[in-house]
Amino acid sequence: MSQTISSPKVEQVVSVDVSQAKALLQSGNQYLDVRTPEEFRRGHCQAPKIFNIPYMLNTPQGRVKNQDFLEQVSSLLNPADDILVGCQSGARSLHATTELVAAGYKNARNVGGGYLAWVDHSFPINKEEPSTN
């Protein structure tokens, strides 16, 4: 007996590429970087309104889901906000965007390719860790 598991929420998630994301950021969209704080400090896209709320947390046992993710997002962003959700490569942000859309953030969009694609396009970045020179 086979069982089909459907996930209707995933169909609601819209992904944009980094070129679209860059234009949307310039037109007022907010950027939610869901990478770990360590990854964020090493470099993140340059955006007027950027927030870092990790979807996964590093623990001695490996990465675990941030159980307070939605609560932390709701303390900074409103469900009606235009939000671009990005991570390192697009996988964590897809999960995070799916969760946000399911929670009522209808204007949340996933940034396909994430930070790596942003860097590949030579788009502006910010780094918060001092260089070791």
In this structure, what token pair is assigned to residue 68? 């307070």
Closest by Cα among 50, 54, 52 to 26: 50
C-beta separation of 25 from 84 below 8 A: yes
β-pairing, 30-33 vs 83-86, is: parallel
Q: Of 87, 94, 96, 117, which residue is the catalytic one?
A: 87
Residue 45 annotated among the catalytic residues of the structure: no
- Alpha carbons within 13 angstroms on the beta-carbon side of residue 124 total 8
Active site residues: 87
